[in-house]
């Protein structure tokens, strides 16, 4: 393999496993949630057998997803802090859509950062409102007034719809940008991909690699 197109690790095995656990939980939650909230989608509940089983399982899967996402949050939050390069990226979003990379992007670009914080906000809203709505088997809902639960149901539904929209965009972007899916399946990207899409992150990786090599020589 040519040096300029060698493979670079972007995600470790543990990161990828965590990602797919969260993704699987999301699919289960989306199907069961739509089945419970909207009568037209009640047949989605058959994934769990019956709507009654879906109602019981839904909150438990939600807790697993939230915990899994929190692992991702603490891993990636530092890489998702907005900076001046994000402004340049956002102002040139039309060029980005046309396939032209803009700005000195780090591990994540402005669009990915928006998705990250939007998903985080939605999951926190859904956790709090979900607990307020939880009627079985621990009956947390009994600690809240009917008015509070109605507001919780509304907020939970809106947060869920926003999260579903975010995930759809997330999946579309992963398919649209060639080489992205491999990063989360095999954990690697090509050097050319890194240079093109995330140049600042690429330089950081190369700098760390040189530091490690230098340390080995000193030993």
Q: For residue range 65-95, what is the model confidence (pLDDT) as tens digits?
A: 999 999 999 999 999 999 998 888 888 877 7
- Could you say which of 156, 170, 197, 198 is catalytic? 170
Domain architecture of the chain: domains with CATH: 12-178 (1.20.950.20)
170 is catalytic: yes
Q: Which string of DSSP letters, residue by residue, matches the chain?
A: --GGG-EEE-S-HHHHHHHHHHHHHHHHHHHHHHHHH-GGGGGGGGGSSSHHHHHHHHHHHHHHHHHHHHHHHHHHGGGG---HHHHHHHHTHHHHHTT---S---SS-HHHHHHHHHHHHHHHHHHHHHHHH--SSS-GGGGS-HHHHHHHHHHHHHHHHHHHHHHHHHHHHHHHSTTHHHHHHTSEEEHHHHHHH-HHHHHHHHHHHHHHHHHHHH-
Among 6-15, 90-99, 186-195, 198-207, which is the least confidently predicted range? 90-99
pLDDT digits (tens, 9 = 90+) for 100-159: 777 788 999 999 999 999 999 999 999 999 988 887 656 777 788 889 989 999 999 999
């Amino acid at each position: 393999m040519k040096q300029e197109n060698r493979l670079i690790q972007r995600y470790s095995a543990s990161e990828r496993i965590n990602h797919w656990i969260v993704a699987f939980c999301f699919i289960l939650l989306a199907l069961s949630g739509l089945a419970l909230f909207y009568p037209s989608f009640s047949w989605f509940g058959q994934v769990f057998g019956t709507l009654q089983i879906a109602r019981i399982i839904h909150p438990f899967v939600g807790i697993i997803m939230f915990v899994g996402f929190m692992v991702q949050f603490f891993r990636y939050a530092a890489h998702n802090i907005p900076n001046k390069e994000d402004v340049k990226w956002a102002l040139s979003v039309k060029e980005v859509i046309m396939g032209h990379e803009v700005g000195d992007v780090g591990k994540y670009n402005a669009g990915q950062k928006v998705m990250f914080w939007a998903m985080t906000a939605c999951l926190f809203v859904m956790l709090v409102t979900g607990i307020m709505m939880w009627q079985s088997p621990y009956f947390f809902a009994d600690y809240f007034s009917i008015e509070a639960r109605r507001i919780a149901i509304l907020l939970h539904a809106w947060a869920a719809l926003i999260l579903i929209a975010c995930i759809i965009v997330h999946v579309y972007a992963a398919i649209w940008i060639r080489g992205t899916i491999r990063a989360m399946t095999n954990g690697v990207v090509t050097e050319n991909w890194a240079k093109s899409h995330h140049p600042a992150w690429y330089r950081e990786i190369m700098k760390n690699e040189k530091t490690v090599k230098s340390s080995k020589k000193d030993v």
